[in-house]
Amino acid sequence: MSDAGRPPLLQARDLTRVLEETVPVTLCEDVSLSVDRGELVAVTGPSGSGKSSLLYLLGLLDMPTHGEVLLNGRPTHELSEEERARARLETIGFVFQFHFLLAEFTALENIMIPMRRLHRLSPNEQTARAEEILASLGLRDHMQKRPDQLSGGQRQRVAVARALANDPPLVLADEPTGSLDTHSSEQVFEILYDLVTAQGRTVVAVTHDIEMADRMGRRIRLIDGRVVDDAKNPAFKNPAFNC
Amino acid sequence: MKLLLEIAFTHILGRGRQTLVSIVGVAMGVGFAIAMAALMEGGQVDFIDSLVDTMPHVQITDERRTAQLQPAEVVFEATEFRGLRPRDDPRGILNPTAATASLRSWAPGDLAANLSVSAVVRFGGAERGVSVLGVEPRDLVRVSPIEEDMTVGRFEDLGGQSSGVIVGRSLAERLGADPGDSVTITAAETISRRFKIIGVFETGVVGTDERQVYMLLKSAQVLSGRPNAVNDIRIRLNDPDIAPAVAARAEEMLGYKAVSWQEANEAIFEAFEVRNIIMYTVVGAILLVAGFGIYNIVSIITHEKSRDIAILKSLGFTQEDIRRIFLTEGVLMGGVGSVIGWVLGFWLTVALGAVTLELPGQTTEPVNLPVIYSWLHYAIATMFALSSAAVAGYLPARKAAAQNPVEIIRGAT
């Protein structure tokens, strides 16, 4: 799954994150990993093992106490706040356990927010792309609805659509199915799976769902903020990368 | 920026009632500030206008700003003189004909040379201390609005009537004298003459109406025993604003004290300055209080929308973007409040301008509250309001922008 001559899409080197509280809390400790393009990675582990903390560090939402994150081979620890925001806008799509859609905006408007911030497309192109993404996720009839008019599964699909708005190569998902029923969970998983196998994106998803993790291409297990297992799934094939 | 504006709009519309209260607070502040400024500056302008209309723009009297050097001091270079008896100069402006001719040659305006004398008027059993002004009527009417203030007779009727006087209405009433009656006027404690009241004026200023008496210059000179004397030259300029320069030149030329209308009212102008400072301090305080309302609502919104802040950051919005959103909310409320405040302020100004007051202790004429309409009042009030709103929005905006999105997301999950 490696691209010859290109650095990995995402790398973590000796990542440590310590919360400086009355009693310092270590969220991640010396985590090093490398994620190539086209990988579907599950990050698993018991509650409090540092899965989400690792995801926020990889997504440049949080700053490590030690170590560094490299995006497309580029170190990010010296980037300014604005450059980190730009990297998130262009390169990373986030999906959280809860949809976190802006309540006052329709599904279509929510998806267009990152596009409007990036200004890469014209307004008409933005609308067309947002409609296309929503349609591809089975939400053609719900574009003009506000989040409170959608079901939990529909909201989460809109959140996935928003993560894809600027066509990022990397999608980071934090328990994307954690608040959904079985049917909706399966729908969301299939969307994530499709992002990797059909669209060639890279997805790193934190999950408690072992069955779902077993269907993914690679599983990283954390305990007490340390990587205790990092194994590929030989059964996983990604036709987008011919492997 | 349009996106940030849209987000800001949705936030404040989502808090409609509180937003409305904040906007009303700003509108009241701006409205009252405009009305107060209109009233205070209106009063100030009205007062200055009446000063310019009624006062001589430059008045030269026979006083000097510093004591004149004695002849011995001019001749001898000594550090100190003892036992000198100062020379008694006759009161009055020396060589008044030459002085007035010179002034007329360069001062752009009209000029009247007068003699001011303290005197006592008696009629029947009544007796009043007065200030007699000996004038050339044709000259005086060109430097004073006295002709407009005449209620009986014409001021120029004084010309050629060496035994005629024109008195204020209040003085006539207090003496119990009517036009046509003869009054006795005594000046210099010894010289008394009888004069016939040929006219009555009413300026509306109690002090003038009770104490001022006009007669011919010659008559005043005779009455005071000072033939050909003039101790008061009044100049009315075409442009009142050049009065200080004209006064300075006249004083340098003649050596006598020449006072411009601005100098004569220096204390009043200083009081106006103090009053304006107080006014704008009060306006600032009002709008600061209105700013607290905005601070409150923006703080509530930032608290309520903390999850949105986190998600916007995760989407790639910068701290500056977040700051701008909430700052915009504050400024929007300040801006809308200001616009409503303009309407309120205009309406209040119109209402105040319609109020009529009678001030019997000060003037004898009823007056409308003087107001002035100036875009500057609107601009200053708006500037105060927007500044206050910007600060009120900035403080919570800065806090919101600095929030760690991870902490918010953790708290929400």
CB distance B316–A52 less than 8 Å? no
Q: Which residue has the tokens 């003037």?
A: B363
Element at B364 (helix H, strand E):
none
A63 Cβ under 8 Å from any chain B Cβ: no
**pLDDT band at residue B1, thresholds of 50, 70 and 90?**
confident
A167 Cβ under 8 Å from any chain B Cβ: no
CB distance A85–B311 less than 8 Å? no
Kindly list the residues from chain B whose CB atom is less than 8 angstroms away from the CB atom of residue A82. 318, 320
**pLDDT band at residue B53, thresholds of 50, 70 and 90?**
confident
CB distance B316–A116 less than 8 Å? no
**Which amino acid, residue B108?**
P
As for the ipTM of the complex, it is 0.86
CB distance A117–B316 less than 8 Å? yes
Looking at residues A56-79, what average pLDDT do you find? Answer: 92
CB distance A102–B311 less than 8 Å? yes
Residues of B with CB under 8 A from a CB of A: 2-3, 7, 10-11, 13-14, 307-308, 310-321, 404-406, 409-410, 412-413
Kindly list the residues from chain B whose CB atom is less than 8 angstroms away from the CB atom of residue A53. 406
Q: Which residues contact B25 (CB under 8 A, 6 or more apart)?
A: B289, B290, B293, B294, B337
pTM exceeds cut of 0.90: no
CB distance A102–B308 less than 8 Å? yes
Q: Of A64, A214, A110, A69, which is closest to residue B315 (Cα–Cα)?
A: A110
Mean pLDDT rounded to a whole number for chain B: 87
Looking at residues A21-41, what average pLDDT do you find? Answer: 90
Tell me the percentage of chain B whose pLDDT exceeds 70.
94
Report whether B160 contacts B175 (CB < 8 A): no
| Least CB–CB distance from B314: residue in A94, A116, A175 | A94
| Token couple for B304 | 């309520």
**pLDDT band at residue A139, thresholds of 50, 70 and 90?**
confident
Q: What is the pLDDT of residue B90?
A: 64
Q: What is the pLDDT of residue A1?
A: 44
Domains and CATH numbers, chain A: 10-227 (3.40.50.300)
